[in-house]
């Protein structure tokens, strides 16, 4: 039987700084995704650690890895080891909070970012071999791997919005690998998440922004 892999990372994992891919490479990627979604450097970052991250974040370098990702460092960047000092120097205040409640995965971090009146919360898990999954954004439950461009559409939970967005993607011949919808309450705010095979042209994003009920539109992995 022939085994297929999406990339070389599926076979050997990424080059990483530190003793464990779950605690370093995966943590860097969670930080990178959070940075990508927030788009600007936050002034204040609160990082909530769960499970084994609580026990190992200092000794295994999870702390410097998460902050390194927030600074835009890749998994093999030697600057990661000094990321806490660098963050302070560039005006990014970072606080680590050890949480005792149980999450579905032991290697879980939730990153709350703020700058002025702008804020964003990203929760990610490191599942091993440098791979991650983003499981919540601003409290909306999702499941995004971070391996593909992802379209995030925050919208009001009203009839027709999801269908109109899907039609725009179809008319542009954009193939959707997976689509998820999440809402907190019926008729309240909602989040539509689409993992795509390719990045979206800015003109398509603008069409989606004009759909009735859409509040904000952003791409994950468009940097």
Higher pLDDT, 35 or 146: 35
**To which H or E segment does residue 155 belong?**
strand 150-156
Q: 161-171 and 202-209 helices cross at what angle (nearest 10)? A: 160
Confidence of residue 103 (pLDDT cuts 50, 70, 90): confident
CA distance 16 to 174: 33
What pLDDT score was predicted for residue 22? 53
Strands 189-196 and 150-156: antiparallel
Structurally, at CATH architecture level, domain 19-138 sits in 2-Layer Sandwich (3.30)
Residue-wise pLDDT for 145-194, tens only, equals 878 899 999 999 999 999 999 999 999 999 999 999 999 889 899 999 99
Q: Which residues pair with 93 in a beta bridge?
A: 44
DSSP summary character for residue 101: S
φ, ψ of residue 86 to 5 degrees: the values are -65, -45
Higher pLDDT, 148 or 23: 148
φ, ψ of residue 101 to 5 degrees: the values are -70, 155
Rounded to two decimals, the pTM is 0.81
- Domain ranges across the chain: 19-138, 150-220
Which superfamily does CATH assign the domain made up of 150-220 to?
ACT domain (3.30.70.260)
Mean pLDDT within 77-96: 96
For residue 85, is pLDDT > 90? yes
The mean pLDDT of the chain is: 87
């Amino acid at each position: 039987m022939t085994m297929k892999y999406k990339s070389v990372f599926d076979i050997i994992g990424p080059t990483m700084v530190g003793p464990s891919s779950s605690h370093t490479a995966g943590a860097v990627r969670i930080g990178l995704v959070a940075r990508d979604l927030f788009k600007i450097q936050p002034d204040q970052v609160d990082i909530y650690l769960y499970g084994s991250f609580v026990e190992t974040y200092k000794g295994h370098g999870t702390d410097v890895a998460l902050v390194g990702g927030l600074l835009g460092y890749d998994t093999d960047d030697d600057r990661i080891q000094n990321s806490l000092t660098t963050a302070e120097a560039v005006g990014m205040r970072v606080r680590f909070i050890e949480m005792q409640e149980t999450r579905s995965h032991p290697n879980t971090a939730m990153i709350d970012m703020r700058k002025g009146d702008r804020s964003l919360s990203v929760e990610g898990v490191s599942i091993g071999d440098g791979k991650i999954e983003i499981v919540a954004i601003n409290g909306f439950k999702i499941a995004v791997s971070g391996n593909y461009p992802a379209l995030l559409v925050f919208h009001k939970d009203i009839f027709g919005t999801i269908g109109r967005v899907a039609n725009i993607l179809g008319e542009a011949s954009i193939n959707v690998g997976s689509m998820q919808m999440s809402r907190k309450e019926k008729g309240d705010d909602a989040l539509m998440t689409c993992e795509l095979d390719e990045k979206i042209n800015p003109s398509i994003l603008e069409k989606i922004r004009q759909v009735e009920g859409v509040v904000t539109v952003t791409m994950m992995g468009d940097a």
